[in-house]
């Protein structure tokens, strides 16, 4: 970069945000949070064998205890608190930040007091956000236009004053009974779900937000005003430890609030998202104005809850997902209807002081009660089935005998004037979804919903008029399969940059009929709403009618169509296009975008098939008049485009490095920030996809191709579909382009370096200079891209070095916390250490030979290993053989270095979350494993105790670990005792060897939540099909090998045998084939493991945690017929643990059989309330005194 260009860049940054200049240079003003990291490793000489010790890093933040020594004998130096940036926990907003070394942090509008129960400093609402700094990666600034079309979720009134709240922290208010409205936004980015006012001055608003220190679980928003909304205080911002170990919880630890009601200044009730640390509690009561909360116990599994209505602090009704509802009576919630295996949700409840109430939900679900929720019945009036299949109810309100029900589509509502004896459809001037109905008086009603629309009725809901955001529609509808795999570059360009009002519709969602989703399976649309609104889009809706109920259902078109036909009584071909046509008429888009057709997405393939029929139904009123009766007028789509598969050329392309000039950032930065909102497995490999391409499917003007998404559509993209946006001057844009060009040149050079194996070490040494002259967001993005490339190439050392640099340079960012978590897990893991030692040897010794001699396996003829029935993987030299068994000084130094690095990462994590440390359950379980390996049982119990309070599989793992020392007769996880054997099997896949005759049979079965009936004590009949299909496995071991045997009966859907592989290679793609998965966790941290997979064709794959180039030497024989296929495998113990295995060792394993689109069988006890995905324990024990072979 020339000196003139650098001066221009600096001048631009100072001109744009003079008080927000963040130094990206690593040499200036950077807290040395990673000072203890050392990028160089001591060299270790190669020798015959090695002994890899498990990680023994000890947490540094345990109360009332000195920092323990590592097994290496040296405690890492304690880092000074002064290294931490004082703005680390500041709430992220779009307000310009003061000078800070922390990437992406901005201070709140007022500093917060730390005294207990003291009111925090009040703040005022904003008219709009100030412009964001150049190249920001957070939510786009909330302009007055975005505030005007943000969806509204709730409304309440006191006298003639009305308040409504919604997405993006929008608060609307009216002083004239809803005739006119004004709007403001909260300083923090959030989704407001509920509002409650006791007087015209005293009130509360509540909702959800995502905080970096809480992971992906939603965090509560609870704001209080005493002056009618002029100023507000945040009740969740009280300083101090965010402990959850008492019966009274601070508001700061509550999950996202769905409903709030106050019954005075002190007493309140809140309905929240499930709190995993509190056994899934979602109903809370406060007696001190909302500062602390106590869970209201539930008599049995219910929820997750969506809404509630209370007539007092101890009497009310809550409703939720999976058609679950409960009555709150005194100090307990009594579940009336337990969660059912459906995506249908009950979304609203209305209850009066006379004990009359109504609940409503998807698919026109309606029930009424006359005894405050103890008993329920359907209303007398019947609704035509054609209406129920197209109308999903989101809100219900009643006054005396008048009942109003509305939802999706918002263009109509159900009205009854005689307490549900008769119903009629009433047209409402609303696009999208009607979210809430509220009676102001016996005759006056207010409704709020999508696109910021507010409607009002003065005749008890018979007629309606729009009073806010009148006539708005969506210019674009994006139909997706899975939100966490969507291409958000599209909305970055269309909604964020161009201001096109947009809606995202998820056609199908996973639903585990085995029960795993019945508590934790909150629809993806709730995360999608946060994602799309932060990008400037307006709504995210999901269909309940088409669930994916089988594992990997998206891979099998045939199985998906068969299942959906079964669920819809054979009407799939009618209902699917009808529901899509409903959405088109409802949102009235000019352009519809669909997902690419591929073998990995059967949903998209079906969507591509039915989209022409859906577009025709939407445009032609004669095809289906029921849509018109729902108030939906015919609508003609101008264009349909389809995303193309990755790396395929396209006419329309949105790239990550595209500049969005009006926003002053890039499409990729917004795309990456959006993906962070969706939970992904920590070991998931990053996607290196850098663009999203689209091709034309349909154009109303019959154009053969188009140059852009809205090419030649300016005549239809008016103000009803597009909000105004500001332009930057040409000079400003040129400076932004210059900065981006510099970043692009540097990224291209880095990519070129990574393609050469000889530059690996040099690149690590040059990390300090990467992105040094770029804005912080672009520099951080470069480092993350570099880390992703290293991980894709299995360069663990380069990956770890980049993560260290992220922590060092941006210590207070979300990315630094994620990097520190990964560093802690990586440096602590026994499996990762074994892999790294092998990788280090391969690097110094050259590439392994694929023609190395096959080690002798007793009982296996050398010729048999090359036969089709006993085909073996290509041979690679053993990964763990170059070092002597006695640890050298260099080996000790290496382990000490890794111990120190892990401790440094944990110390950094301990300062997050207001000093309470990481809440990631994998980090906590790893911490407990380190304590166990160091034999500090008290600290281990403390660490496990925190995780054990969770209601998910991590809580179950922690409780099981707490049992290990005394191991009850019925442990929480399956326990398999493996006696040592002296006679190896002959690997032919027949399973007739004596070693299998005495082996314990391990039956894999479908998981069913609460599979034991509490009344009879017997196992319930499975909700899932597949119990009659046998999946039998066995394990054995000797001095050299761990053996796996299996007999897997074919499913009726997969009776045709596949051709057996004649040649086998590492890391095969198993695609749609039946497969058996074995994971081995030698240090019992429940996170990192060795993963081995065999499919019905004999193909194999293997990986060490995130590293898919772990290629162990293991041996597989497979035999098959029309009824079943059988496996015999031998895995060298030295490939799993350098010391092998000995009697008394206890390892974790995970055994699963998956037939995509058909079934998942797993190792389980049959009594657990949550699925563990087949996790169990294997104990290696001494040989039995008598075996079957000896008796012969």
| Residue 499 burial (CB count, 10 A) | 23
The upper half-sphere exposure of residue 313, i.e. CA atoms within 13 Å in the direction of its Cβ, equals: 18
Instruction: Convert the pLDDT of each residue in 697-708 to its tens digit.
Output: 999 999 999 999
CA angle 266, 268, 273 (to 5 degrees): 140
Buried b (16+ CB within 10 A) or exposed e, 982-1003: ebbbbbbbebebbbbebbeebe
- Pair 187, 123: CB distance under 8 Å: yes
Question: What is the per-residue pLDDT for 755?
Answer: 60
Buried b (16+ CB within 10 A) or exposed e, 796-831: bbbbbbbbbbbbbbbbbbbbbbbbbbbbbbbbbbbb
Instruction: Convert the pLDDT of each residue in 1132-1184 to its tens digit.
Output: 999 999 999 999 999 999 999 999 988 899 998 877 778 888 999 999 999 98
From residue 608, alpha-carbon distances to 479, 545, 576, 597 in Å are 11, 18, 12, 7
Q: Which residues contact 395 (CB under 8 A, 6 or more apart)?
A: 347, 348, 360, 405, 406, 407, 434, 435, 436, 437, 447
Q: In CATH, which of 3.30.470.10, 3.40.50.720, 3.20.20.60, 3.40.50.10320 is domain 476-727?
A: 3.40.50.10320
User: Does domain 971-1191 fall into CATH 1.10.390.10?
Assistant: no
Residue range 399-404: average pLDDT? 97
CA angle 842, 844, 849 (to 5 degrees): 40
Question: What is the per-residue pLDDT for 761?
Answer: 61
Question: What is the per-residue pLDDT for 37?
Answer: 57
Buried b (16+ CB within 10 A) or exposed e, 753-771: bbeeeeebeebbeebeebb
Q: Look at residues 655, 709, 660 and name the one whose alpha carbon lies nearest to residue 502.
A: 709
CA 766 and chain centroid, separation:
34
- The pLDDT confidence band at residue 593, using thresholds 50, 70 and 90, is very high
Instruction: Convert the pLDDT of each residue in 997-1035 to its tens digit.
Output: 989 999 999 876 543 333 333 434 444 455 689 999 999
C-alpha 325/C-alpha 391 separation (Å) is 20
C-alpha 1192/C-alpha 1188 separation (Å) is 7
Q: Which residues contact 374 (CB under 8 A, 6 or more apart)?
A: 327, 336
Q: Name the pTM for this structure.
A: 0.84
Q: Look at residues 999, 961, 962 and name the one whose alpha carbon lies nearest to residue 977.
A: 999
Structure tokens at 197: 């006012």
Specify burial of residue 505 (Cβ count, 10 A radius: 0-12, 13-18, 19+): buried
C-alpha 825/C-alpha 1107 separation (Å) is 14
In 3-state terms, what secondary structure has residue 146?
helix
Q: Look-up: residue for tokens 């990519």? A: 751
CA angle 509, 510, 514 (to 5 degrees): 150
Instruction: Convert the pLDDT of each residue in 125-141 to its tens digit.
Output: 999 999 999 999 989 99
Residues of the chain with CATH 3.40.50.10320: 476-727
In 3-state terms, what secondary structure has residue 1137?
coil
Residues of the chain with CATH 2.60.40.1190: 971-1191
Question: What is the per-residue pLDDT for 107?
Answer: 31
- The pLDDT confidence band at residue 9, using thresholds 50, 70 and 90, is very low
Instruction: Convert the pLDDT of each residue in 961-1005 to its tens digit.
Output: 999 877 788 889 999 999 999 899 999 999 999 999 989 999 999
């Amino acid at each position: 970069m020339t000196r003139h260009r650098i001066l221009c860049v600096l001048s631009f940054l100072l001109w744009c945000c003079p008080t927000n200049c963040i130094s990206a240079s690593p040499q200036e003003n950077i807290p040395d949070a990673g000072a203890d990291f050392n990028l160089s490793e001591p060299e270790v000489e190669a020798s015959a064998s090695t002994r890899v010790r498990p990680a023994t890093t000890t947490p540094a933040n345990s109360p009332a205890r000195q920092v323990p020594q590592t097994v290496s004998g040296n405690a890492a130096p304690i880092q000074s608190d002064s290294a931490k940036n004082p703005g680390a926990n500041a709430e992220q907003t779009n307000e310009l930040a003061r000078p800070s070394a922390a990437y992406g942090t901005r201070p709140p509008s007022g500093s917060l007091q730390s005294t207990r129960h003291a009111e925090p400093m009040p703040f005022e609402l904003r008219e709009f956000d100030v412009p964001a700094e150049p190249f920001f990666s957070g939510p786009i600034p909330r302009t007055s236009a975005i505030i005007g079309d943000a969806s509204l979720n709730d409304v309440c009134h006191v006298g003639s004053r009305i308040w409504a709240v919604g997405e993006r922290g929008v608060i609307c208010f009216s002083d004239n009974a809803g005739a006119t409205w004004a709007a403001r936004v909260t300083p923090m980015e959030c989704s407001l779900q509920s509002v409650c006012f006791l007087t015209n001055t005293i009130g509360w608003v509540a909702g959800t937000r995502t905080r970096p220190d809480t992971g992906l679980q939603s965090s509560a928003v609870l704001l209080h005003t005493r002056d009618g909304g002029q100023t507000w205080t945040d009740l969740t911002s009280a300083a101090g430890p965010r402990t959850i170990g008492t019966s009274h919880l601070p508001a700061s630890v509550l999950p996202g609030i769905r409903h709030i009601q106050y019954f005075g200044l002190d007493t309140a009730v809140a309905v929240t998202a499930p709190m995993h640390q509190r056994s899934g509690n979602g109903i809370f009561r406060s007696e001190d104005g909302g500062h602390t909360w106590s869970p209201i116990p539930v008599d049995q599994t219910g929820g997750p809850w969506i809404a509630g209505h209370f007539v007092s602090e101890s009497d009310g009704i809550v409703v939720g997902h999976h058609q679950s509802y409960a009555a709150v009576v005194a100090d307990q919630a009594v579940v009336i209807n337990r969660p059912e295996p459906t995506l249908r949700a009950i979304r609203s409840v209305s209850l009066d002081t006379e004990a009359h109430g109504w609940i409503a939900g998807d698919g026109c679900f309606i029930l009424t009660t006359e005894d405050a929720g103890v008993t329920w019945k359907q209303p007398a009036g019947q609704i035509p089935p054609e209406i129920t299949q197209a109308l999903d109810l989101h809100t219900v309100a009643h006054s005396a005998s008048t009942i109003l029900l509305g939802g999706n589509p918002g263009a109509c509502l159900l009205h009854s004037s005689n307490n549900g004896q008769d119903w009629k459809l009433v047209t409402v001037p609303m696009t999208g979804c009607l979210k809430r109905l509220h009676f102001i008086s016996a005759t006056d009603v207010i409704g709020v919903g999508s696109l910021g629309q507010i409607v009002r009725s003065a005749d008890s809901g018979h007629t309606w008029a729009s009073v806010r955001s009148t006539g708005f529609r969506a210019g674009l509808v994006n139909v997706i399969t899975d939100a966490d795999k969507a291409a958000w570059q599209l909305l970055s360009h269309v909604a964020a940059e161009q201001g096109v009002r947009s809606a995202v519709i998820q056609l199908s969602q996973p639903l585990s009929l085995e029960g795993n989703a019945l508590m934790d399976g909150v629809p993806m649309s709730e995360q999608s709403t946060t994602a799309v609104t932060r990008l400037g889009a307006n709504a995210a809706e999901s269909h309940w009618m088409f669930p994916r109920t089988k594992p990997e259902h998206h891979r099998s078109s045939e199985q998906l169509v068969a299942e959906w036909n079964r669920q819809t009584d054979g009407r799939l071909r009618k209902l699917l296009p009808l529901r899509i046509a409903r959405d088109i008429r409802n949102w009235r888009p000019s352009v519809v975008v669909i997902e690419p057709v591929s073998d990995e997405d059967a949903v998209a393939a079906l969507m591509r098939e039915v989209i022409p029929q859906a577009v025709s139904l939407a445009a032609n009123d004669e095809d289906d008049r029921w849509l018109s009766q729902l108030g939906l007028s015919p609508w003609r789509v101008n264009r349909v485009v389809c995303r193309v598969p990755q790396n395929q050329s396209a006419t329309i392309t949105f790239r990550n490095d595209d500049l969005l000039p009006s926003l002053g950032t890039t499409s990729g930065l917004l795309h990456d920030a959006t993906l962070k909102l969706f939970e992904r497995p920590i070991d998931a490999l990053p996607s290196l996809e850098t663009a999203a391409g689209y091709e034309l499917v349909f154009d109303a003007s019959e154009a053969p191709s188009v140059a852009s998404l809205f090419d030649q559509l300016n005549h239809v993209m008016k103000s009803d579909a597009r909000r105004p946006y500001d332009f930057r001057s040409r000079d400003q844009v040129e400076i932004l382009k210059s900065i981006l060009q510099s970043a692009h040149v540097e990224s291209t050079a880095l990519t070129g370096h990574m393609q050469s194996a000889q530059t690996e070490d040099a690149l690590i040494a040059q990390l300090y200079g990467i992105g040094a002259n770029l804005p912080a967001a672009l520099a951080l993005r470069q480092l993350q891209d570099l880390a992703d490339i290293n991980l894709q190439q299995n360069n663990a050392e380069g990956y770890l070095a980049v993560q260290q640099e992220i922590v060092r340079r941006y210590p207070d960012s979300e990315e630094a916390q994620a990097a520190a978590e990964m560093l802690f897990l990586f440096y602590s893991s026994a499996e990762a250490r074994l892999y790294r030692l092998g990788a280090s040897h391969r690097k110094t010794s050259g590439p392994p030979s694929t023609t190395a001699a096959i080690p002798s396996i007793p009982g296996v003829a050398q010729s048999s290993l090359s036969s089709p029935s006993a085909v073996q993987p290509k041979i690679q030299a053993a990964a763990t053989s170059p070092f002597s068994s006695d640890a050298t000084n260099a080996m000790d130094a290496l382990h000490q270095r890794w111990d120190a690095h892990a401790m440094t990462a944990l110390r950094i994590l301990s300062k997050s979350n207001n000093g309470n440390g990481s809440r990631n359950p994998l980090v906590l379980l790893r911490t407990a494993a380190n304590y166990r390996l160091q034999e500090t049982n008290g600290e281990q119990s403390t660490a496990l105790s925190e995780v054990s309070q969770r209601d998910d599989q991590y809580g179950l793992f922690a409780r099981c670990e707490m049992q290990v020392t005394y191991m009850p007769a019925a442990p929480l996880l399956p326990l398999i005792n493996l006696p040592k054997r002296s006679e190896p099997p002959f690997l032919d896949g027949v399973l007739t060897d004596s070693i299998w005759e005495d082996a314990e049979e391990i039956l894999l079965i479908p998981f069913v939540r609460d599979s034991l009936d509490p009344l009879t004590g017997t196992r319930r009949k499975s909700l899932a099909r597949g119990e009659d299909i046998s999946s039998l496995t066995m394990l054995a071991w000797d001095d050299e090998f761990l053996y796996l045997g299996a007999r897997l009966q074919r499913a009726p859907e997969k009776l045709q045998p596949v051709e057996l592989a004649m040649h086998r290679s590492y890391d095969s793609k198993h695609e749609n084939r039946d497969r058996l998965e074995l994971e081995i966790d030698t240090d019992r941290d429940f996170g990192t493991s060795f993963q081995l997979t065999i499919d019905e064709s004999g193909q194999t794959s293997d990986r060490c945690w995130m590293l898919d180039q772990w290629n162990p030497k293991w041996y597989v024989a497979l035999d098959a017929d029309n009824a079943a296929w059988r496996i015999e495998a031998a895995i060298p113990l030295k490939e799993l643990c350098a010391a092998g295995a000995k009697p008394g060792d206890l390892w974790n394993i995970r055994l699963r059989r998956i037939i995509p689109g058909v079934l998942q069988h797993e190792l389980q006890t049959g009594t657990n309330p949550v699925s563990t995905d087949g996790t169990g324990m294997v104990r290696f024990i001494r040989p039995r005194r008598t075996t079957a072979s000896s008796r012969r």
